[in-house]
Structure 1
Amino acid sequence: MTEFERAIDVVLAYLDAVERRDLEAAESFVGDGDLDLIFPGGRRFSSVKGALLRSSGRYARISKKITGTDAWKSEQNLRVLVTGTLAGEWRDGSAFSDVRFIDWFELHDGKILRQHVWNDTGEKLVSDMKETQQ
């Protein structure tokens, strides 16, 4: 297994643990130092727990369908890109699906240092609101 395949495996295992809300497992994939998690709207967190608590106010449940991964080396660190779609349920009980996402990770010594998250959930909320107003 290459270092790139190992990095992708770490990221996918982390995302699975986050989706299951298994804080202990998710934290086992992050480094001991400064963690930087950046979500849409510029929301920043320095812990997995903080990010999970914040998302629980937005979603009743959420899952990722992964459609692609890529990994490369940048200086001393590895970077991983994960693409796919989100599906789940908003806090009001309404369902959503096929919402695009991109997660970008930086790893050092097999541990996650940074995660940047981009997705279209905001666009989906606006679109759904417009449909209910028509």
Structure 2
Amino acid sequence: MPLVELHVLEGYNPEEKQKLGTALTNAVRFVVPAAPELVTVLIHDIPADNYYRGGEQRIPAPARADPVEIVKDYLTAMEDRDLEKARAMLGGGFTMTFPGTAPMHSLEELIEWSKPRYKFVTKTYEGFDAMQGSGAAAIVYCRGTLQGEYHDRRRFGGIRFIDRFEITDGKITKQEVWNDMAEVKTNA
């Protein structure tokens, strides 16, 4: 039965501690073949006035925003065509790559690229998976199916997709998209 103890400065709320507990449980289970209920996580709050680093008292850094929620908010803004909100969620140097494209750097490029392909497209999500990348970026994968309408009014649906996002400092810096749209359209 794995036991993990974590010491943090006071200031993280119960929801943030729950995220820590879940993340630590999943990290242990990535290596140790243990059911979740067999992994024990103990989080100890340390009063800030009892903590010194470099001879100075410190306060805890604020918890990061949930990268899955950032991606969900972005995808909702894109589907609602709230481009101003979606654009505000993008970080410097943002790139996105769709099947058959070179990297694009703006939402306007994406809209121009997609205009001749279909009238509209929506997504049904089957799941989201998040992890910390080896660098500064959190990685979020979302998967599900696409549905929509071509310009000739033919409808399509059930097209598999996977999107991979990188989130750095709360902003989306990269989006990569894979889907079966071309395969389905070729066979239609």
Aligned with residue 122 of structure 2, among 51, 55, 63: 63
Give the 5 Å matches for 1:29-68: 29-31=89-91, 33-68=92-127
Q: What percentage of residue pairs aligned between the two structures are identical?
A: 37
Unpaired runs of 5+ residues, structure 1, are 129-134
- TM-score if structure 1 supplies the norm length? 0.89
Q: Residue 131 of structure 1 corresponds to which residue in structure 2?
A: none
Give distance in 2, aligned partners of 1:11 and 1:22. Answer: 14
Q: Which amino acid aligns with 1:102?
A: I
CA contact (8 A) 1:4 1:78 kept: no
Conserved 8 A contact 1:21-1:52: no
For each residue in 1:82-117, what CA deviation from the matched residue of structure 2 results, as whole angstroms up to 9, or x when unmatched?
A: 000000001111000000000000010110000000
d(CA) in 2 for partners of 1:5, 1:71: 12
Output the CA distance in 2 between the equivalents of 1:4 and 1:21.
Answer: 26
Per-residue CA shift, 1:34-68, capped at 9, x if unaligned?
11100001332101221122212211111000001
| C-alpha contact 2:123 2:147 (8 A) present in aligned 1 | yes
Q: CA deviation at 1:69?
A: 0.4
Higher helix share: 1
1:1-134 equivalent positions in 2, closer than 5 A: 1=16, 2=19, 6-31=66-91, 33-74=92-133, 75-128=135-188
Unaligned runs of 5+ in 2: 1-15, 20-62
Counterpart in 2 of 1:132?
none
Q: CA RMSD in A?
A: 1.5
Q: Which runs of 4+ in 1 moved over 3 A?
A: 1-5
Equivalent residues, number = 127
Moved more, 116-125 or 34-43: 34-43
Distance 1:23 1:100, change over 3 A: same
Q: Quick one: distance in 2 between partners of 1:84 and 1:99?
A: 8
Greater strand proportion: 1
Secondary structure of 1:69's aligned partner: strand
